[in-house]
Amino acid sequence: MSLAVGSTIGILGGGQLGQMLAVAAGRLGYRTAFLEPDPLAPAASFSRQIQAAFDDEDAIFQLESLAQVITLEFENVPAPTLEGLERPLRPAAAICRLASDRRLEKKALEQAGLPVAPYRVLDPQDDDLVLQRALSELGSGLLKTATLGYDGHGQARVSDLAELREALGRQGPSVLEQEVPFTRELSVQVARNPSGQVALSGVIENLHEGGILRRSHYPPQASPQVQERARELARRLANAWSLEGLLTLELFELPDGSLLVNELAPRVHNSGHLSLDGGGFSQFEIQIRAVCDLPLLDFAPEREVFMINLLGWPSPEQEPDLAALLRLPGTHLHLYGKRWRPLRKLGHVNVTGPQAAEIAAEVSALLR
């Protein structure tokens, strides 16, 4: 049953994703309240903040007394908080838990029949024989921390036992993943509402540098068949897990056109920011619709759109010329109101229009 207009949606986390979810909820006639410890939370410009730690029981009680349903913009909320909620959590705690631990995530993906890169779960206690076997079976690979990794943090490329031992000691329990020769990185989103209706996004092409997303583009260069397969994987997962809410799948396309799932997010995603200005529904509106059990429709952008992340510049005096950027036709600047820190995600620029590719290149150059 749809959530009544005027009800409140609780959001766990108050970063830029929470900010944009709050805007989308407000446009549909809902109020929002969010739990977030950061006193400078971007979502505070549009939503009511409960400023406390994610395991603060009084704060959770307060959130639940305001909200009729809870969603999230940040998956690393402690499991006891997620599991102890009395209001419906969308996506469910079990899905959020999977997405916050690579070991569980990969196993669950395999069980649902989705392909992942070959991997081994490793622990600092494992002896050299185990580590050596993993290396010889996988070849050199990426050691990714099991929990709390993001934007290339908690990740190391390792090619011999000494490197693996050192990185494992530093990172703690991790997954060693074979390095795959992908031709493209793609993402796709799927939303499903409690009534069982499913909606898919367009397939987005992503460019990362140093593990951080720099730029996304719709439509992707991938063939229509590859895009259809990506959407099919997302649909299969949403149905297998009886998803309520929105999930993002990050994928690798291999030279033969096959796909591997790299990772999942149980929420809107940085790559999906281009949906704000590409026409059609935004990922934020779709997550809100799914959470509120409103009707869902597929949400591919209606026109070509590029998204370029505005990352914290290397030093304060290298601040980019945002006025020059705003003068470029077809640019849509989104700033999150966050304090500068090198490489921190401070905003993004969407570029549309007849000259989109050229202007996107200019924007990328201005934001270097």
Q: Which residues bind ligand AMP (CB under 6 A)?
A: 117, 142, 144, 149, 152, 155, 177-180, 182, 185, 208, 211, 250, 262-263
Which is closer to ligand AMP, CB of 48 or CB of 107?
107
Q: Minimum Å distance from CB 151 to ligand AMP?
A: 7
Cβ of residue 250: shortest distance to ligand AMP, in angstroms? 6
Nearer Cβ to ligand AMP (27/153): 153
For ligand AMP, give the closer residue by CB, 133 or 157.
Answer: 157
Using DSSP, state whether 176 is helix, strand or coil: strand
Query: How far, in Å, CA of 147 to CA of 253, rounded?
Result: 25
Q: How far is the CB of 157 from ligand AMP (least distance, A)?
A: 9
Q: Which CB, 185 or 244, lies closer to ligand AMP?
A: 185
Closest distance to ligand AMP from the beta carbon of 178 (Å): 6
DSSP 302-368: SS-EEEEEEEPPSSGGG---HHHHHTSTTEEEEE--PPP-TT-EEEEEEE-STTHHHHHHHHHHHT-
Tokens of 319: 């601040």
Q: What is the 3-state secondary structure (H, E, C) of 117-144?
A: CCEEEECCCCCHHHHHHHHHHHCCEEEE
Q: How far is the CB of 248 from ligand AMP (least distance, A)?
A: 11
Which residue, 16 or 216, is less far from ligand AMP as judged by CB? Answer: 216
Positive or negative CA dihedral for 4, 8, 12, 16?
A: positive
Structure-block tokens of residue 277: 């200005």
Smaller CB separation from ligand AMP, 8 or 248: 248
Nearer to ligand AMP, 84 or 211 (CB): 211
Report in angstroms how near the CB of residue 262 gets to ligand AMP at its nearest: 5
Nearer to ligand AMP, 139 or 295 (CB): 139
Nearer to ligand AMP, 11 or 167 (CB): 167
* Nearest residue (CB) to ligand AMP, 102 versus 192: 102
- Residue 164 to residue 176: CA distance in whole angstroms: 9
E-assigned strand segments in the chain: 8-12, 31-35, 48-50, 69-72, 119-122, 141-145, 155-158, 174-178, 184-192, 198-200, 204-209, 212-218, 245-253, 259-265, 305-311, 331-335, 345-351
**Pair of tokens at residue 236:** 């299969």
b/e sequence 62-71, b meaning 16+ C-beta within 10 Å? bbbebbbbbb
Residue 286 phi/psi, 5-degree rounding, is: -70, -40
The residue among 93, 85, 116, 92 whose CA lies nearest residue 103 is 116
What's the min distance (Å) between Cβ of 179 and ligand AMP?
A: 4
Nearest-5° angle of CA 108, CA 295, CA 35? 60
**In the complex, minimum distance from the CB of residue 317 to ligand AMP, in angstroms, rounded to a whole number:** 29
User: At its nearest, how many Å lie between ligand AMP and the CB of residue 54?
Assistant: 22
Task: For residue 90, give both structure tokens.
Answer: 């969308």
The nearest distance, CB 134 to ligand AMP, in angstroms, is 14
Residue carrying structure tokens 């990740």: 155
> Quick one: the chain helix, strand, coil %, rounded to 5?
35, 25, 40
